[in-house]
Amino acid sequence: MDPIPINWLAVLIAALIRFLVGFVWYSPIAFVGPWRELTGGTPDSVRQGMPRALVIEIAMALVMAFALANIVGASGISDWLNGALAGAWLWLGFVVATHLPLWGFESRPLRLVVINVGCHLVSLLLMGALLGAWR
């Protein structure tokens, strides 16, 4: 198998998109209120865990962007629409498929699952569009 060419700048920007979507998604202008209510988090507990959470989030945004770049490249996608569709299919097949059972097995509130998977949907759509268009 031939190596898949990776646009490393696009991967870095896609990871930044993921990070920024999460920053806005879990902010006062979006869903931090309901998210805190459903998780039992307080401003102090969130602030206390922030350094570790940021390191993990940055690392996983890079992993997600790199994996998506490989999938987009291996699929021969070279436009934003099909890149976004790849992100949507990956969201459905992996994010929803792994988060929805948490509602069933762990009795997590469905509203919390929807908030969390929604962030992944927006991220993957935007990341896929970027990586599809910018090869």
**Do the domain assignments include residue 73?**
yes
Tally of structural domains, the chain: 1
Question: How many other C-beta atoms lie within 10 A of the C-beta of residue 42?
Answer: 10
pLDDT of residue 41: 85
Residue 127 lies in a domain: yes
- Check if the beta carbon of residue 120 is closer than 8 Å to that of residue 126: no
Q: Token digits for 64?
A: 């997600």
For the stretch 36-45, pLDDT in tens is 999 988 888 8
Residue 103, domain member (yes or no): yes
pLDDT one-digit tens code per residue, 85-94? 999 999 999 9
Instruction: Indicate whether 20 belongs to any domain.
Output: yes
Record the tokens describing residue 115, joined without a space.
């908030």
What CA–CA distance (Å, rounded) separates 15 from 31?
Answer: 21
Q: Is residue 59 situated within a structural domain? A: yes
The answer to whether residue 89 is domain-embedded is yes
Relative orientation angle of helices 32-39 and 110-133, to the nearest 10 degrees = 130
Residue 66 clears pLDDT 90, i.e. is over it: yes
Three-class SS state of 1: coil
Task: Name the band, by pLDDT with cuts 50, 70 and 90, for residue 3.
Answer: confident
What mean pLDDT is predicted for residues 59-82?
97
Quote the pTM value.
Answer: 0.94
Q: Domain residues for 14?
A: 8-133
If we measure between CA atoms, which residue out of 81, 116, 76 comes closest to residue 96? Answer: 116
Task: Pinpoint the alpha helices (H) of the chain.
Answer: 8-25, 32-39, 43-74, 80-90, 97-105, 110-133
Residue 2 located in a structural domain? no
